[in-house]
Structure 1
């Protein structure tokens, strides 16, 4: 059974988690997807000079001797521009976002004007050419790259994409995931809990984590510690055509751990057998040529969540086409952080922005059975192997963002 470091395990997983084929994605469904080609602007934005304020469009030379009263020539509204040329010595009422009439080169704000007795408009201030005017192409020019290939689309990025008229984007399709929990002692969330059993959480928690990462879970189930039941479950999982299979439990060294032989019978070859990390040491990986990647996770639900973040989430990111599949920062500890002997300790923590950078509080509950420790965690403190003396407040540590 090959034992590897977390870095080696991650490298092995990412080497087999290749980007998936591209597809056209409607803009409304684009959040979380990674672009496989640049999105370019098809026209300038703004397409022409427009007002940045409510007020009056003027020729700046006409107000050089303000205060001055000028006749009102018309009005330009957003979506309904004033036609023709603004005559010299006259102004046009204008609203925010409306096109400047030809002949105007500045805007005087509403509050800097007042009506004159004869119906004219008194301009109280001088303004330079271009004042309160959004210039053509100020945001982008036709042909500019708005989002580059390899960029993950955020909700905020939808604004320029929509503004450029990108009704669809080209992105790798979403990874398809199957989740299988194994064990005779597992009860469903809504089932009666017999003595000695525990409620199964992974088929609820892990799909939610991977959905946030951009994947879709196409199948999930619980299998008993029985070769026939496990074989049937693996058949069903593979029939769902997943790109990634997560198998929780049944992969340690006990007499009832039958998952590895069952997986091998389905044509999978083991990539690594254990990972030198706490929690999550029993994690393993297998791959079938031309088929899905399989990650074996510890049966312990907290450890399975940690390993999902350490290995499965980066695998999903790579399948989506992300160049950098992990998110890490350097943080200053505000609490001690213990090592785990020869293993890397992925300690659950709470990352916050401090006055001098990122700060990380290692949570008090670090037991692998303590589900409540997952409520506050938003990062993992990666305490290096061989850290015999606990790290202290003020020490720095790499934090893996969740």
Structure 2
């Protein structure tokens, strides 16, 4: 297990009170170790799971030489003389019903897509390029090249070669490929277990009455949605009041039952913000502020309780900051803990429709609306109020506008980086 000191090696500008986004990502990545347990699941249950070991193909794909088109199979040597090629039709080959004999010189076999290529044949000419004359077909020798329109055994995947590499998050196409190899059970990493809870005496869960000075907790529901999208096993520990003993008890339960813990609220400098202090008591804290907006108060470290350990991500309490810090920092760490290969978010260059005020010294992730202008070109507009507590504009937005650490004010028409929500949120 890597220690905090290991994670800080090579970071001379390390400042836990004002860490850059890139430095924070680096520290988190160094401490995020994959779960070790691997289990076998039925192929249909492997969707969105992380492949635990390289998957070796037990057979060639395709398993035999077959036709890539409907047409006529013949020996490509017949094309050498040029001119008009005239061949006698010796029989027919259908998918699943091969031609039993072989084609001799001067012969061809009527063949359908996917059918086994008959012996003596190495080329298929599409049916629309031939003329028929009784039991014979005719075509110009220039209409096709030798060995064309054939899928050869093993050309997609050879027996004994890796079909997929460990760390792949299995998507629908992967499930189909696994099934095509006749593999019934798939080795996958154990599901990552993530516990989460909100902190604050002012918070109420949906369904509870609101008293004066209280508000409904949205962060747990947002976190539930984001974690569910990642395919992890979630453990909702509810709302924890602003009390050190209650917080410690909840953290101990989370550390016992989960691999990672996510809290929202309680990481700033308020009198009732105990998360960072409790992290230091129960483990170690790597950093507690990031030069980003929204999401500056962000505590990260590791808990060690009763022989168990877990990474802890202490997110801000403001709803938009929770989502921004989750997608920019936490997401990559959870993928690494799942044993998945890196899943980088593409940042696309797009022109901004309006000017954006920005001061250097922090990375900003603004909520934006990506749309085409009158000329059909993509452009992005900042989506209204950008306060860290404004969740409505996060709901209205369809992308993050990413403004780098050293960047200043942005003029209308300048290019900015955009990370789209579709497939992310």
Q: Which runs of 5+ in 2 are unaligned?
A: 1-15
Task: Give the match for residue 315 of structure 1.
Answer: 333
- Normalization by structure 2: what TM-score? 0.80
Matches of 1:247 and 1:197 in 2, distance apart? Answer: 19
Matches of 1:95 and 1:285 in 2, distance apart? Answer: 61
Contact 1:214 1:317 in 2 (8 A): no
Equivalent of residue 126 in structure 2, options 109, 130, 146: 109
Equivalent of residue 71 in structure 2, options 27, 45, 55: 55
State how 1:89-108 maps to structure 2 within 5 Å: 89-108=106-125
Matches of 1:376 and 1:386 in 2, distance apart? Answer: 28
Task: Give the match for residue 149 of structure 2.
Answer: 132
The alpha-carbon distance between structure 1 residues 256 and 49, as it changes in their structure 2 partners (threshold 3 A), is same
The alpha-carbon distance between structure 1 residues 131 and 282, as it changes in their structure 2 partners (threshold 3 A), is closer
Task: Give the match for residue 391 of structure 1.
Answer: 410
For residues 98-122 of structure 1, give each alpha carbon's deviation from its aligned partner in whole angstroms, at most 9, with x where no partner exists: 00111223223333456655xx244
Aligned length: 396
Matches of 1:331 and 1:263 in 2, distance apart? Answer: 39
Contact 1:36 1:149 in 2 (8 A): yes
Contact 1:336 1:362 in 2 (8 A): no
Matches of 1:226 and 1:133 in 2, distance apart? Answer: 71
Contact 1:176 1:218 in 2 (8 A): yes
For residues 284-314 of structure 1, give each alpha carbon's deviation from its aligned partner in whole angstroms, at most 9, with x where no partner exists: 1231245001111111111111111122101
The alpha-carbon distance between structure 1 residues 352 and 44, as it changes in their structure 2 partners (threshold 3 A), is farther
The alignment partner of 2:172 has SS state of coil
Task: Give the match for residue 209 of structure 1.
Answer: 226
State how 1:231-380 maps to structure 2 within 5 Å: 231-239=248-256, 241-264=257-280, 267-289=282-304, 290-322=308-340, 324=342, 326-329=344-347, 331-334=349-352, 335-340=354-359, 342-350=361-369, 360-380=380-400
Equivalent of residue 183 in structure 1, options 185, 190, 200: 200
Contact 2:51 2:186 in 1 (8 A): yes
State how 1:151-230 maps to structure 2 within 5 Å: 151-230=168-247
Matched, 1:46 2:46: no
Contact 2:220 2:236 in 1 (8 A): no
Contact 1:3 1:274 in 2 (8 A): yes
Matches of 2:69 and 2:236 in 1, distance apart? Answer: 54
Equivalent of residue 26 in structure 2, options 11, 14, 20: 11
